Amino acid sequence: MRKLPYLLSALGAALTAGAAETAAPQRIIDIRTDDISLILSAAPGEEVRFLHFGGRIDDPAPLAGYRSYRHPDHNTEDVAYPAFGGRNYHEPALRVTHADGDLNTELRYVSHRTRKLADDNVTETVVRMTDAVQPLDVELVYTAYARENVITTRAVIRNREKGPVTLHSFYSSAMPLRAEKYLLTHLHGAWTREAQVEHTLLTHGSKSIASTRGLRTTHAENPSFMLTLGNDRFDENCGEVVAGSLAWSGNFRLNFELDECQTLTVLAGANPDASEYRLRPGESFTTPEMIYTHSFRGAGGASRNLHDWARNYGVWHGHIPAPTLLNSWEGAAFTFDAKTLTDMIDDAAAMGLEMFVLDDGWFGNKYPRNNDKAGLGDWEVNREKLPEGIDHIASYAHDKGLKFGIWIEPEMVSPRSELAEKHPEWIVRTPGREAPLTRSQWLLDLSNPEVQDFVFGVFDNTMRLSEHIDYIKWDANRCANSIGSAFQRPDEQSHFWIEYTQGLYKVMERIRAKYPDVLIQSCASGGGRVEYGALRYFDEVWTSDNTEALSRTRIQYGTSLFFPALVMGSHVSVTPNLQTGNSTPLKFRFDIACAGRLGMELQPKHMTEEERAEARRAIADYKEYRDIVMQGDLYRIGSPYDENGCYGLAYVSKDKRRAVVFTYCLLYQSRTVPQFRIRGLDPDTRYTVREMNTEEPRFWFDGGTFSGELLSRMGLNPKLSRIYDSAVFLLEAR
């Protein structure tokens, strides 16, 4: 009989649902930035309705009387966090099995509060809801960044029931949008072909973008998207665009459901597949953060909003670029000794680079790391290769005026390793089943606190090898599959997917507490962790293992839709390229790499004197305009997918006094001369144009002074006619 009051309460709520719009006055919950508004409405005991996300509305008070005219027998209202139960017909953001077996959840408004955070630019709004019947609470936390025009959202789910509840779906947010058309732009790809751009006009029904790889999740898909509203054409500069990006390093799902009312509901969060999460009495669960922005200035405007937010709030050192560097991998691989490395350091210093990074192969003694089949997990310096130790190499680099970095892969273990022999219980696998190998290695169970201690120790002990270590390259060369955890309870094995990622974050929080100043790259086989969950702790990503310049035009273009150049490691490597076999001119390779964080990935002693001189010039020129690339506003000029085969980028300083323009020819032009119109300049300012990375002027306008108006409306027309022709121009106000 104890269920009777709950049943009567639920029945009463159902009988009054149809009259709810007029039964109680609606309270407006106004969440805003300088240019955008997210508006909810609510009344005590009713659902929290979602009214608007888009351009700013200064006076939303009249929306308290808003009516959708939807008939409750056929359509549900747009709500802030739809749950499975009641009248909801659509994919729920929250699906729960309650302690007593009840499958339904009907969230009702309790209260909300808004406060300024320590940074006056940031406002937090918390909307509290509870189930109509069960003692289960949900808080929606919205954080608004005024100047950046970004609003983030997450959900906190609390169990006040007498027994455990099971969370089946627990998305971070639900975003209803209304437009005549919805063009979805998202990234797809594979290892060495990451961040390929795809445009899809959404039709009725559902489309999902998801990963179930556990980690290294962004090679094939990325938890970021853009939606062009009311148009089926992607435009860089015009039109209304909503962009989103999930800050989560584990399995994710973005679900786009277009219903019969022409409303598109976007659900974004951790992937619920095989991830049921048991919440015990008194416990709470916080979802990953979802990042949203809106622009009336096309895709470019949305990108610039995200880039500004990333530099100010989303990246660990958002205003400190990593130095130019030489990485040892493609130049030395596993075969090196101290002299190999010190010679490379000498060459790096002679070319004007600022850091040397020792990659894989420096560790392991019982099982030396001479290839990728042994030694991973045994993080002690290989005495045969480097009897002088790491400090000898790091100190040598510092004596030459270079910083020093080193590679680790602490989440993985080789079967042929002392670690695997000592701690087989730390390996991700189910007893009685074979643990699949990827790149001849297994995955360590980061859901286990002992493994978290070990992984932190790998970083900590590596830093202790020398006081001259400035940079860590953190790699992760496999995904999670055939999962099983000796640490998780048998009836909670599905917690692994969440607990692994949270375990990684716990380790990174400890690392950042002790080493706040060290630069850390998120590598993950190249582009496997290009997302804002990792970037809360990392300074940059290794954009792709594919260093071939032509491939990089598309990889870096796609990445730039959501992530700033500050985080994009981009290297000049050998030709023919090791990944594609393609041969490209050295100037083209530099002009592509200089649009991100410049580095080199080759053996300098194999370069000719002419190539070394060209490298010195390109590196010196890059340092002259690097600050604009790292901190400026990006204006893409076309795309590398355009049929005309021309593509450009312009980075404009915040004060609009300087700009750097990259121009590329990707297809033979015959008699066509490309035109690059440069947006973002001050129309009344006059700019002197100077070509960089060249020995002498090549074009009629080099050295000339032109108004921002002319440069934006007519542009520059460098004669780039052959494939791999390129030019870089520095614009400075006069």
Q: Indicate which residues carry an active-site annotation.
A: 475, 545
Q: For residue 406, give the amino acid letter.
A: I
Cα 299 from chain centre: 17
* Contact present, 616 and 683 (Cβ < 8 Å): no
In whole angstroms, what is the distance from residue 639 CA to residue 196 CA? Answer: 12
Q: Return the DSSP state at 426.
A: G
CA distances from 686 to 689, 729, 732, 734 (A): 10, 15, 8, 6
Q: For residue 254, give the amino acid letter.
A: L
Q: What angle do CA 660, 666, 670 make, to 5 degrees?
A: 110
* Contact present, 194 and 219 (Cβ < 8 Å): yes
* Contact present, 252 and 245 (Cβ < 8 Å): no
List the end-to-end C-alpha distance of the chain, in Å, as a whole number: 83
Q: What is the DSSP string of 21-90?
A: HHHSPPEEEEEE-SSEEEEEEE-TTS--EEEEEEE--S--GGGGG------TTT-PPPBSS-BSSTT--S
Strands 325-327 and 597-601, sheet pairing:
parallel
Q: List b or e across 392-422, with b for residues whose CB sees 16 or more CB atoms inside 10 angstroms.
A: bbbbbbbeeebbbbbbbbbbbbbbbbbbbee
* Contact present, 380 and 363 (Cβ < 8 Å): yes
In whole angstroms, what is the distance from residue 471 CA to residue 479 CA? Answer: 24
Q: CA nearest 248: which of 267, 268, 270, 266?
A: 270
In whole angstroms, what is the distance from residue 381 CA to residue 378 CA? Answer: 9
